[in-house]
Amino acid sequence: MERYNAIVCETIGSIDNLVLKNIARTRLGKKQVRVQVKACGVNFPDKLMVEGKYQFKPSLPFTPGLEIAGKVIETHSSSDFLVGDKVTCQMRVGGYSEELVVPEESLDNFPDQFTYDEAAGFRVAAQTAFVALIERANLKTKQSVMVLGAAGGVGSAAVQLAKSLGSTVIAVANTSEKQKFCKSLGADFALGYENLKVKLLELTNNQGIDIVYDPVGGDIFRESLSCLTWGGKYLIIGFANGSVPLLPTNIALIKGVDIIGVRAGEYFRRFPHKKRNATERLFQIADSGGITPRIHSVLPLSQAINALKMIERREVMGRIILKPNK
């Protein structure tokens, strides 16, 4: 029986405990497809799962990794996919591997202009932005959107998606280099976190912002919430800062705002019929140049720990990709 390499979490705790292991292949089950992984996207939830801090807690041992791009190498007899097809796949775990077996329904072909690296860094971030801005916030053309953590994976996708839909985009990032990167994504304005409310109100003639997209959390939450216009919407994406903020309900009351939690994966599990439409629409936007994953670094699979530490240090602009055969 053939074998392959994968990064494995055997103990919940530090990401330093991740190990590269050689694993025996399993047989295909019904309606399953085997994919040779060409590239794997690295996401913040991967780190949280290893640390036991994520809402979904996989059974041990497990291989982290929410999304991959690769090539079909084995199918069942009635599959809609052919051996050799280029595909992208999103799942809860399993991506940090040379190959994986997945349900056929989790696969999609991807646009021809995408490289494997770009395809592997597309779905999680883009679908999160889609669910947040389109499904939950019902973003309208010419509305204003402030994106926190705008240089990161989910932030950079939100900047591009909002801009492609005709919004005025204010990107917020913690260094001048990241702010410059955000401008290259299409942001109309790029700001730092210091005196954010003052700068935001100056930009909007004291009107405030329609939508805040927040994957950061922590201390910036209260100030960002107060940047909303009356009736605005605050999208809670995550807590990259490491701390979950207390909710100042007095601000929500006074401004009449909606505070909306966004979990794209859970949203699509509850409304599976919407996932296909979202994926197709995002690929159409990508085809027109509206969203292009920006790759910060490409590392070998064996450097998974380093990749996660780069995300932990918040030094990433765009996406980090792991390559099994680099």
Q: Which class would CATH give 124-265? A: alpha beta
For residue 72, is pLDDT > 70? yes
Q: Given the DSSP bridges, would you call strands 209-214 and 228-236 parallel, antiparallel or unpaired?
A: parallel
Q: Where are the domains of the chain?
A: 3-122+293-323, 124-265
| Structure token digits, residue 162 | 């909002």
DSSP letter at 58 equals P
pLDDT digits (tens, 9 = 90+) for 202-224: 999 999 999 999 999 888 999 99
Name the pTM for this structure.
0.92
Q: What is the mean pLDDT of residues 73-101?
A: 93
What are the E-state strand segments in 58-182?
Answer: 67-74, 86-90, 99-103, 107-109, 144-147, 168-172
For residue 201, is pLDDT > 60? yes
The residue among 243 and 3 whose pLDDT is bigger is 3
> What pLDDT is recorded for position 276?
87
Q: What is the mean pLDDT of residues 48-70?
A: 95
CA distance 123 to 135: 16
> What pLDDT is recorded for position 326?
65
**CATH of the structural domain 3-122+293-323, one choice from 3.90.180.10, 1.10.150.130, 3.40.50.1220, 3.30.70.1140:** 3.90.180.10
The residue among 105 and 147 whose pLDDT is bigger is 147
pLDDT digits (tens, 9 = 90+) for 103-117: 999 999 988 889 999
